[in-house]
Structure 1
Amino acid sequence: MNRSILFTALFLSTLLTAQNIQSPSEFLGYELGTQFTRHYEVVDYYEYLAEVADDRVQLTEYGQTNERRPLLLAYVSSANNISNLESIREEHLKSTNGESNASKAIVWLSYNVHGNESVSTEASMQTIYELLTSKSNYLENTIVIMDPCINPDGRDRYSNWYNQYKNAPHQVDPNSKEHHEGWWNGRSNHYMFDLNRDWAWLTQVESQQRIKFYNKWMPHVHVDFHEQGVNDPYYFAPAAEPYHEVITKFQIDFQKTIGKNHAKYFDANGWFYFTKERFDLFYPSYGDTYPTYNGAIGMTYEQGGSGRAGLGVITRNGDTLTLKDRIAHHQTTGLSTVEVAANNVDKLNSEFKKFYQTKNYKYKSYVLNGDKDKINALANLLSHHEIEFGKGTNGTVKGFNYKTNSQGSLKMNENSLVVSTNQKKSTMVKVLFEPNAKLSDSLTYDITAWSLPYAYGLDAIASTTEISNTNFETPSEQNSKLSKNTYAFVTDWSSMNDARFLGDLLKERIKVRTSYSPFTLEGNSFKRGSLIITAADNQNHKDFIGTLQKVVQNNSTIRLTNVNTGFVDSGKDFGSSYIQMIKPPKIAVLSGKPTSTYRFGEIWHFFEQQLHYPLTVLDSDYFNRVDLDEYDTLILPGGWYGSFFKEDQLKKLKEWVRNGGNLIAMGGAIKAIDGEKGFNIKIKKTEKDSTETDPMPHENWQRESIKNAITGAIFKVRVDNTHPLAYGYNQEYFTLKLGNDSYDYLENGNAVYLETNTKPVSGFAGSEAQKKIGKSLIFGAESYGSGNVVYMVDNPLFRGFWENGKLFLANALFMLN
């Protein structure tokens, strides 16, 4: 067969294939871009493609959301590649060991991580259609992995809202209701978490399930499709500074290669775009940085639009931005990305292999000591990321001491956790564990500190020497069968595992006491906050021992100590007023405006997925009609309260606290009840510098303003661990501070506070901000009548990953009397 005949045959084959596959518009029954497609319809289209083009599309359900929507991956390539998909994957992964002869490019395209940035899922359907038809030549040497919707719960929340409120036909006037999504918006997932900031922390089920498949493939290129403000043009790579120092020259250069290819298509269409601004590569938990730190070319693409845009909206320039426009832009960059990868297969494979060569990082090992539950929690996170670790041996390790922020030493033992950079995931280890990430530019898009030893509250040494270790096994405590003749059972209070155990006991109506004083008994020492479960308190429980045994079995890390008397060797006896009964609290949280969706979501997720304790959600729309006497505890999440609490509402709130209520105000909620409005906490006053200065050039304004900013920095603060709010903690705590809000010390009840040294141990804090936060409160509580008011200036639940802060909230719920 001559070349002309062969070409004609291939052309006819492609044409027939294209004719046999329905486009998204044909399949859905409406022109793509004229409606928002519901998630089940998107799933239907991908399942249809996997059926009619089963030789070139393989569909996998990799999990489900909290609301039971399926999470999908579509593998798209040539028929030959799909038939050899597993062998291609295995050969590709050999690159991480330097042994591969891989000859394919792996491109992963992730769509709709933010639910109301809804265009990308629509674009994904057109993109896969084009790859199977007009652009099928890209697939000869490329495997394209497509996640059509990372956040189905958020997407359906938005699309259902929009379909409910839009005009018919849609209204392009930006003042119309269809362009003003409400508080419960579609950006986040079920628990109001931002999935684009959860790649490293894996607090959400979507992230936990996705990372298993990401680690199975480790793509060469990963794209995270987004939307930004209505009036913004398109953003694509290369990214803005700062770049983390671990990012390679090739990764930076290849971003430019891809960006130039995009620009070629955008220029031809007269579309506007920008690069190298706003979206940097530093914080490790994004959909661009996490893949980058795992060897990929990780990129964010941002289309103007988001939830404000709807099906069409008039922009500031008087143009009309339509959903069809937005689809075309995302489809163009998606196909352009695959095209560049297909044209650079050898380079991508060779550089990916090079990325996984042994690195000469300064610190060769990280050694961590501390509470066994916190060690196990960190080990669990590392396992999800397939980061290798081991347990230590007896000896002393020298290096950078995280606690003192200087050179020091640490005694290592078989309970120590050892993480080496001499492993496949060495770059991730460096990024997640380094004491203070090098910041090339203080103007960043997110927090600048996240070091895991601080986040998990562990003593740690970063050593320039590789430390030998052995296999790490997560131990479970072995409790013998509980005896009915035991006077009491005692256990520690030092971690979220203990808080979960207490919550489970209270739900089973088992009475529990706590000690406000340390004590020793029968050769064992117990700290403040230790839990005491006596037989006498539970004599009327119908199955005390059986129920307690069941709760212990469900909390395998709990170790109960049997004691035969309440007569202590030192401290206070079990009948003392220092040994108080823990009342099972009935807890409510405020939702809706004026709270932050993120801050509310962190609390909601904390109760349902971490503490496993019931929580009532009270919406701001009807909050004033709620009888607060039905609740023992009310939590006010961070937010922007303004004048939300009117004078009569504040009076009602104060009366409720005075009568025994426990009010927990977090972050911005404190301003709504401060000394001028309700309670005794006072905003810290700082004197302004009266020194006259010359007028500042306008172009310097942004850079000068960061002197007053704290962009997610870690500070070493003092802890009064004799206060019930701080039970289970040492005398020092490392807090993640997200802004410069500061409050004076309370007259009494300063459980955690910042002293005069305001230099962060990690991350960026402006010079003026540091002056403002000196001698200020972090966490505190004041008695008010028969109740308490708890102030949490910093956020102990931030994004669900600051593990060492969570017990403070548990203390606020259970330990304050």
Structure 2
Amino acid sequence: MKPFLFCSAAMAAMALQPISAIAQEERISGGNDLGITAPADAFPEEPGSDYFLANYTQYVAYLNLLEKQSDRIKLVNIGKTAEGRDQWMAIVSSPENLARLDEYRDIARRLAKADDLDADEAKALAAKGKAVVWIDAGLHATETVTTQSQIHVLYRLLSQNDPETLRELDDVIMLFPQDNPDGLELVADWYMRKAKPEEREFGSLPRLYQKYVGHDNNRDSFMSQMPETENANRVMFREWFPQIIFNQHQTGPAGMVVFVPPFRDPFNYNYNPLVMTTLSEVGSTMHSRLVSEDKPGSGMRSVAPYSTWHNGMFRSIAYFHNAVGLLTEIIGGPTPERIPLVPETQLARNDEPMPIAPQEWHLKDSLEYQWFLNRAVLDYASRNRERLLLNIYKMGATNIAKGAKDSWTITPKDVDALEAAAGDAPPPPEDGINPWRARDRVASSLYSELQKPENRDPRGYIIPSGQADMPTVTAFINALIKNGVDVEQATNAFSVEGKNYPAGSYVVKTGQAYRPHVLDMFEPQDHPHDVEYPGGPPKAPYDITGYTLAFQMGIGFDRILEGFDGPFTAVADLVEPPAGKIAGTASAGWLVPHTTNNSFILTNRLQKAGVPVSWVMQPVEAAGREFQAGAIWVPASSKAQAIMAASTAELGVDAFGVSAAPAAETLSLKRPRIGLIDKYGGNMPSGWTRWLLEQYEFPFSVVYPQELDKGNLNNKYDVLIFADGTVPGDEDSLYRAPREGEQPDPKDIPAQYRGWLGEITQSKTVPAIAQFTQSGGTLITVGSANRLAELVGAPVEAALYKQDGNQRKMLDRREFFIPGSLVTARVDNTQPLAFGMPQQVDLFFANSQSFKAKGNGATPVSWFDNATPLHSGWALGQDKLKDTVAVFDTNLGAGKIFMMGPEVTQRAQPYATFKFLFNGMLYGPATAKK
């Protein structure tokens, strides 16, 4: 039957129908009186239809058509994606607002930054300005509801003339970006590749739906390394400053349709509480809108694990920028499914106000929910336009004021200290108020325990120039700038609190609107002790608990507790590292310190050109300075001269010319042939590692299990890297099992991907890897992949377990639980695997394994030397790490196995531990016995 067109009045009426009525219609959107092409007339099939997905190419074509037809939309290209596509954002508002976008953007900026306004000026601007709302789609590309629904949301906003739509267009500037264009194109094309609709699926997708990191594109926000994240953060925190950031996902809780905020605890103590109270308002408005439209099945708080702790996600980074961050998780997809009967979801309660009956569910049903969720957010923003604008100013102004005076951030450790100070002292008199609570009260005078002078928040941070790895310092500064943080740089040398600092040092003051984000990047996280019930096991956090970026990147900085100033100038935009210098006359060659991560780029460029490169194995004095063990030695030649001249300045790497070769022992490096292990469907840690290898210009190939199983690996590779999650877990659960999806039948996928199928097995793969290593190959295992190192015979075993008869068992969570935190370890930087590193480093530890030697041939490189290594995050039983080894250098036959229990390349954030991997790729092949 040919779908019929609705008039605009019928369209509005349809929007109010219950789901059963909508399901009877073949169309989601009808005609209109404004000449706007409906989605059904612009795509091969209407987006939202069963067994159909529109791809990004089709979506962009529709956007361009809409822009030609409507004066309510303006398209903006916000940058390139990882695969080189243009990332488009639709700005929707009234024609009058679109004509004055620069003015309204400036108002939003001034109110959000709050640094050049008083309260009266802010109130006047809020009255004049427009609310700005970000509503995105497609971040996780297999969550197809969001991408298909955005098409209809845009159409309805451009084609409807009802009073609510017109009011929202007048009061709100709406930003509609596509977060992951590459993923949308890949997933939609993959789904549509089969001619028979009932055979379509995207569960067998061959690779990650973001080129490098897949699902982790929603964990990159504070680091902002993927291009799509950088584009989004620039719009949100440097250009448009939305007061509401709505990040849409799926899938919903079992037996329900959609999760909508508010969220469960824990509450991150760094951000302004007005963010959370406003978030609860908006979330309640969304639930109420669904209920009023007869859309049952929404839930909040306890129905899902989502909290507001971690700073790395699109919606959660909003909190640290004084914006309301919304997350919805909805069911649905192009393939029809059923809402199952889950008994506990059938009883109405505060967190599930309107249960839904089990039923068949279609994508267009989810799209109707999405419309009303979007509608609720826009209606809230419209009705609260002035208050949203004024509140973001108030939060920014409050943060600025806090940074200019003594202030304290109360953390769980502070509360523990207060309780300890109270001790067994009797409670204060009941004073007639809530006498039954008297046992829980302590003397008010003990409040001073929470405001000890030494525990004040810093007024700012000084990052001295001249650090051993200034390019990494620059990367840290740029991560802050990408997130809208105000950074200053010293134009001259200066002194603060009796300490001298050189010109070029960076200054980050906490007296700024984005103070919560600043504190979160410099201060240790102190995650609450969150348990399932009193005395029970710890409740798994949503994502990680400790991630302080300054710690992960090994940045040297000083916390300044008093107000300070100096010859500082604002840093206007992203910065380049200080240019490297070549000092002295290189009649014999050059020595390059090993301390800079970028020295590996220089090494790789030299080796690619055939220039010999060596490491000096002991500390040496030359060129008027001392070099730590591992200094890079480059003999003089015309080819070397050209590369040194071109690369040192660009990379921020200093080189020192010498008139004689070093007298100490040197290790001659070879250009390694590197194999990075991946698997069908893609592995995110492997993807992050691939991105790192590309950034640092290492030569490598991606290797899949079928190739490993063929053996003779030494003919093609010198190094094999197994990232976390690339090796199946063990039956004792001492090594985390990766998330495994079912692999497709080879005949169901294109021939080009069939060689990617397969799994690492104990029967075939392990012997091939053992032979590779014993014959001189280098095996690098990270995180859970260290199970492979044990299987091939490394003289090392797991240390974190309990013995149950003849069987090793994982420790109970009550005994040991470190869910993604930073722990401090000792480092022997005289060992080649740790050349260039300091003697102490923060490691990212996510319920990882630590190790102990088993026989000869294992050299500890990094280990835990005390019972309290936690530096940022949450840890139970951390004392069990004491005297265990985090990183081992082991021998096996003629080869090497480098075991790295913690994830030393975790999401490409811990720059301070990259050298473990980088050194291993060069050191192992250089020492292989022939």
Partner of 1:276: 301
Structure 2 counterparts to residues 303-702 of structure 1, below 5 A:
303-305=330-332, 309-317=333-341, 319-357=359-397, 358-360=400-402, 361=407, 362-369=457-464, 370-371=467-468, 372-391=470-489, 393-395=493-495, 397=497, 412-414=501-503, 416-437=505-526, 439=528, 441=530, 443=539, 444-469=541-566, 470-471=568-569, 476-477=578-579, 479=581, 486-535=587-636, 543-555=639-651, 557-566=652-661, 573=663, 578-592=665-679, 597-608=683-694, 610-625=695-710, 627-629=712-714, 630-639=716-725, 640-642=727-729, 644-674=760-790, 677-684=792-799, 686-687=801-802
| Aligned counterpart in structure 1 of residue 150 of structure 2, from 124, 128, 134 | 124
Secondary structure (helix, strand or coil) at the match of 2:872 reads: coil
Instruction: Describe the shift of the 1:438–1:62 C-alpha distance in structure 2 as closer, same or farther (beyond 3 A).
Output: same
What is the alpha-carbon distance in structure 1 between the residues aligned to residue 872 and residue 497 of structure 2?
A: 22
What is the alpha-carbon distance in structure 2 between the residues aligned to residue 801 and residue 440 of structure 1?
A: 25
2:793 is the alignment partner of 1:710: no
Maintained 8 Å contact 1:488/1:533: yes
Structure 2 counterparts to residues 110-149 of structure 1, below 5 A:
110-134=136-160, 135-147=165-177, 149=178
Instruction: Describe the shift of the 1:740–1:660 C-alpha distance in structure 2 as closer, same or farther (beyond 3 A).
Output: closer
Which is worse superposed, 98-107 or 660-669?
98-107
The C-alpha deviation readout for 1:14-39, integer Å capped at 9, x for no partner, is: x9964411121222142221210011
For normalisation by structure 2, the TM-score amounts to 0.76
Partner of 1:221: 244
Query: How many angstroms does 1:762 deviate by?
Result: 1.5
Maintained 8 Å contact 2:39/2:155: yes
Structure 2 counterparts to residues 150-161 of structure 1, below 5 A:
150-161=179-190
Partner of 2:227: 205
Instruction: Describe the shift of the 1:481–1:562 C-alpha distance in structure 2 as closer, same or farther (beyond 3 A).
Output: closer
Query: How many angstroms does 1:652 deviate by?
Result: 2.7
What is the alpha-carbon distance in structure 2 between the residues aligned to residue 707 and residue 68 of structure 1?
A: 48
Maintained 8 Å contact 1:714/1:736: yes
Instruction: Describe the shift of the 1:554–1:248 C-alpha distance in structure 2 as closer, same or farther (beyond 3 A).
Output: closer
Query: How many angstroms does 1:678 deviate by?
Result: 2.8
Partner of 1:44: 61
What is the alpha-carbon distance in structure 1 between the residues aligned to residue 31 and residue 253 of structure 2?
A: 40
What is the alpha-carbon distance in structure 1 between the residues aligned to residue 205 and residue 110 of structure 2?
A: 48
Letter in 2 for 1:145: L
Partner of 1:696: none
What is the alpha-carbon distance in structure 1 between the residues aligned to residue 763 and residue 242 of structure 2?
A: 57
Maintained 8 Å contact 1:203/1:801: no
Maintained 8 Å contact 1:193/1:601: no
Which is worse superposed, 664-673 or 252-261?
252-261
Letter in 1 for 2:722: L
> Unpaired runs of 5+ in structure 1?
1-7, 172-176, 399-409, 691-703
Which is worse superposed, 258-267 or 220-229?
258-267
Secondary structure (helix, strand or coil) at the match of 1:356 reads: helix
Instruction: Describe the shift of the 1:685–1:299 C-alpha distance in structure 2 as closer, same or farther (beyond 3 A).
Output: closer
2:829 is the alignment partner of 1:721: yes
What is the alpha-carbon distance in structure 2 between the residues aligned to residue 234 and residue 193 of structure 1?
A: 20
Secondary structure (helix, strand or coil) at the match of 2:192 reads: helix
Query: How many angstroms does 1:394 deviate by?
Result: 5.0
Partner of 1:778: 886
Query: How many angstroms does 1:707 deviate by?
Result: 5.3
The C-alpha deviation readout for 1:300-343, integer Å capped at 9, x for no partner, is: 111124xxx54212344363232112222222211110011101
Query: How many angstroms does 1:105 deviate by?
Result: 0.9
Query: How many angstroms does 1:795 deviate by?
Result: 0.9
Secondary structure (helix, strand or coil) at the match of 2:851 reads: coil
Instruction: Describe the shift of the 1:437–1:756 C-alpha distance in structure 2 as closer, same or farther (beyond 3 A).
Output: closer
Query: How many angstroms does 1:475 deviate by?
Result: 5.7
Instruction: Describe the shift of the 1:465–1:113 C-alpha distance in structure 2 as closer, same or farther (beyond 3 A).
Output: same
The C-alpha deviation readout for 1:398-421, integer Å capped at 9, x for no partner, is: 9xxxxxxxxxxx764446433110
Query: How many angstroms does 1:740 deviate by?
Result: 4.2
What is the alpha-carbon distance in structure 2 between the residues aligned to residue 272 and residue 281 of structure 1?
A: 23
2:319 is the alignment partner of 1:287: no
Maintained 8 Å contact 1:420/1:466: no
Instruction: Describe the shift of the 1:359–1:276 C-alpha distance in structure 2 as closer, same or farther (beyond 3 A).
Output: farther
Query: How many angstroms does 1:77 deviate by?
Result: 0.5
Secondary structure (helix, strand or coil) at the match of 1:224 reads: strand
Secondary structure (helix, strand or coil) at the match of 2:852 reads: coil
Partner of 1:248: 272
What is the alpha-carbon distance in structure 1 between the residues aligned to residue 500 and residue 853 of structure 2?
A: 36
> Unpaired runs of 5+ in structure 2?
1-8, 13-29, 342-357, 408-456, 532-538, 731-759, 806-811
Partner of 1:196: 218
Query: How many angstroms does 1:773 deviate by?
Result: 2.9
Structure 2 counterparts to residues 800-811 of structure 1, below 5 A:
800-811=908-919
Count of matched residue pairs: 749
Secondary structure (helix, strand or coil) at the match of 1:290 reads: coil
Letter in 1 for 2:841: Y
The C-alpha deviation readout for 1:135-166, integer Å capped at 9, x for no partner, is: 2331111111111x21112222222222235x
Maintained 8 Å contact 2:615/2:631: yes
Secondary structure (helix, strand or coil) at the match of 1:638 reads: coil
Maintained 8 Å contact 2:688/2:907: yes
Letter in 1 for 2:593: D
| Aligned counterpart in structure 2 of residue 65 of structure 1, from 75, 78, 81 | 81
What is the alpha-carbon distance in structure 1 between the residues aligned to residue 558 and residue 774 of structure 2?
A: 47
Secondary structure (helix, strand or coil) at the match of 1:107 reads: strand
Secondary structure (helix, strand or coil) at the match of 2:135 reads: strand
Query: How many angstroms does 1:193 deviate by?
Result: 5.8
Secondary structure (helix, strand or coil) at the match of 1:22 reads: coil
Partner of 1:164: 193
Secondary structure (helix, strand or coil) at the match of 1:153 reads: helix
Letter in 2 for 1:388: D
The C-alpha deviation readout for 1:550-578, integer Å capped at 9, x for no partner, is: 333543x1222111112x5xxxx0xx5x2
What is the alpha-carbon distance in structure 2 between the residues aligned to residue 324 and residue 313 of structure 1?
A: 12
Partner of 1:24: 39
Maintained 8 Å contact 2:295/2:369: no
Secondary structure (helix, strand or coil) at the match of 1:728 reads: coil
What is the alpha-carbon distance in structure 2 between the residues aligned to residue 67 and residue 618 of structure 1?
A: 21
Partner of 1:798: 906
Query: How many angstroms does 1:380 deviate by?
Result: 2.3
Maintained 8 Å contact 1:104/1:141: yes
Instruction: Describe the shift of the 1:204–1:16 C-alpha distance in structure 2 as closer, same or farther (beyond 3 A).
Output: closer
The C-alpha deviation readout for 1:83-113, integer Å capped at 9, x for no partner, is: 1111111122221233441331111111111
